[in-house]
Structure 1
Amino acid sequence: MRGVFMLLKDLAEEFLFNCQCRKLSEKTVHNYRLQVGYLLDYLSQEHEVTELEKVKPQMIKQYMVSMQKKGRKAQYINDLLKAFKCFFKYLYEEEYIDELITERIKNLKEPKVIIQTFSNDEVQRMINYYSKHDYLTIRNKTILCMLFDTGIRLNELITLTEDKIFNDYILIHGKGDKERVVTKSPYLSKCLFKYNIVKNGYFENKTKKYANVFLSRNGLPLTHESIEIIVKEAAKACDVDSGVRCSPHTCRHTYAQMQLKNGLDIYSLSRLMGHESISITQRYLEGIRNTDVIKAGTKTSPLMNL
């Protein structure tokens, strides 16, 4: 189909339809729609370009520069570029263009960001905060235990169903429609066992239409906001360090750093986290303090382990 005169807006719709066919998440498709739309608006308004044949790599670079001038962070601009590359890669593979327009456009250099996580003491206090014996309190405690002990994403926790929990592992349906397993420790098993007894008793005489592990008081799947509140309430009550962002995703960061500190190799951690590339997992190494590195190095000393 090379040489065919094509409108960018039509190609963008085709690209998004293809993303849906690939079963990408609704959030991913929504983000691609916005991000590609930003570029198309820029090309139309600043360069009067609405056809694929007129797009030049320099125009995309100029858009990135304009974002920098507006004060956008490098990570934000790189996320945009990632979407642009996916879009033009699709057009190249479908033979709408003869060369990959974005091939030589490089990412901006991002400053190293030390990920602030909960301390061991803060994790323990947050879990102990939910100490009552009613359904909602035990559910909330189990949610925290699940987040800290498996490192699963918020949406993975919300959509987790009862049939995915096995004796010593949990089957997670993750990003990109991919499945992976995470470990289920004896501690978490005990929490889940107690939670299921209370849950079954709570819903014994109530209608339960959903098989999600975690349900609201009315038997509905939990929302992102409700779990955010569970984490923030515990963190606030336990006077967590003000430099730590109190969110479910920080629980995931905490899980990763604790696993590394406890000696898990980065390759295994990458699989447990469901990362596409080990380079993503390596970010967690930056947050490990020198004292922890020295302690780990001493523990694994070659001569001390002869």
Structure 2
Amino acid sequence: MKWEESKKGFENYLKLEKSLSQNSIAAYINDINKLIEFLGKNFKRIGPEKVKLNHLKKFVEWLNEKGVSPRTQARTISGIKSFYKYLLIEEKISSDPTALLESPKIGRKLPDILSMEEIDTLIDAVDLEKPEGQRNKAMLETLYSCGLRVSELVNLKVTNLFFEQGFIKIEGKGDKERLVPVSSRAVEEIGKYMNGYRKRLKISKESENVLFLNRRGKKLSRVMVFTIIKNLAQKINLDKKISPHTFRHSFATHLINGGADLRAVQEMLGHESILTTEIYTHLDRDYLKSTIHQFHPRS
């Protein structure tokens, strides 16, 4: 059995049967490539079906020696386990060498969040004198007010804006659609952007239905959104490491701390499991402390 052939089959399986996005598929294939790199350096001519548990244990040791973090190791091992599960389903192998492979123990990482004041300061720091200023302000307001992933933001379509009904339609992971309420502030900023900067652009044919565009009239890249946020954080001397996802975390945390139902937040974020959403109930320590002091009989 050849690696390239097996990888191609795995890629099709992830795309067609698991309905994963291209970014997720690329991450899985990258995990397999790391294993192939290790085997190529340490074991000659060993195909996927010849890999045993001892090979995989040595692979994990190799990752450790390279200084790969436990969290990244766990992610890589998960990808390799999925690959061998696929080979087992396809009856390419008779036993799974990853069955007894353990992932490193990692704690649950609580995401960084921004306060309302920090979000307002960041958005207010956008230079509206620049041509793209209103676009950037509209993007940040949409990220925060709708709790979007950066990939959902850059792929947001004009035809998926239902402002009269107060919703936008999001095409999330695995092409799963959901409706998310949109704030009046976001509606206002998007309207200003569409009637100003976007109207003056020469829009490329393939991007006519894409909401947020670059100066060449094409879809913005994810990297560009990261860069815009990073530059604004530096501009206001924000002492936090933030990304587009920070706005999503802040959206969820502020909702839950304000008393929103966990199931409703799960729906708005597009989480498959409510366990993923529950992480946001652990974030505001001051809120938890005040709750205990107020309601616990021993306080």
TM-score normalised according to structure 1 size: 0.83
2:218 corresponds in structure 1 to 220
In the aligned structure 2, how far is the partner of 1:131 from the partner of 1:51? 55
Match of 1:60 among 56, 59, 62: 56
1:254 matched to 2:250? The reply is: yes
1:87 corresponds in structure 2 to 83
1:7 matched to 2:6? The reply is: no
SS at match of 1:180: strand
Shift of the 74–265 alpha-carbon distance from structure 1 to 2, 3 Å rule, reads farther
SS at match of 2:132: helix
SS at match of 1:196: helix
Quote the offset at 1:114 in angstroms. 3.5
Match of 1:38 among 21, 31, 34: 34
Question: Is contact 2:198–2:213 with CA below 8 Å preserved after alignment?
Answer: no
Question: Is contact 1:40–1:50 with CA below 8 Å preserved after alignment?
Answer: no
SS at match of 2:96: coil
Q: Report the AA paired with residue 197 of structure 1.
A: N
Quote the offset at 1:118 in angstroms. 1.6
Question: Is contact 1:266–1:281 with CA below 8 Å preserved after alignment?
Answer: yes
Where structure 2 has 5 or more consecutive residues not aligned to the other structure, the ranges are none
Q: Report the AA paired with residue 8 of structure 2.
A: E
- Encode CA deviations 1:254-291: one digit per residue, 9 max, x unaligned: 222212212223333223222233333333334322x2
Question: Is contact 2:167–2:181 with CA below 8 Å preserved after alignment?
Answer: yes
In the aligned structure 1, how far is the partner of 2:293 from the partner of 2:259? 12
In the aligned structure 1, how far is the partner of 2:157 from the partner of 2:257? 30
Aligned residue pairs: how many? 292
2:13 corresponds in structure 1 to 18
In the aligned structure 1, how far is the partner of 2:193 from the partner of 2:269? 24
Quote the offset at 1:121 in angstroms. 0.9
1:168 matched to 2:166? The reply is: yes
In the aligned structure 1, how far is the partner of 2:95 from the partner of 2:226? 45
Question: Is contact 1:142–1:195 with CA below 8 Å preserved after alignment?
Answer: yes
Q: Compute the RMSD of aligned alpha carbons.
A: 2.8
Where structure 1 has 5 or more consecutive residues not aligned to the other structure, the ranges are 1-5
Match of 2:187 among 186, 189, 198: 189
Question: Is contact 1:152–1:252 with CA below 8 Å preserved after alignment?
Answer: yes
Question: Is contact 1:117–1:253 with CA below 8 Å preserved after alignment?
Answer: yes
2:237 corresponds in structure 1 to 239
SS at match of 1:215: coil
Quote the offset at 1:127 in angstroms. 1.8
Match of 1:123 among 114, 119, 124: 119
Q: Report the AA paired with residue 11 of structure 2.
A: L
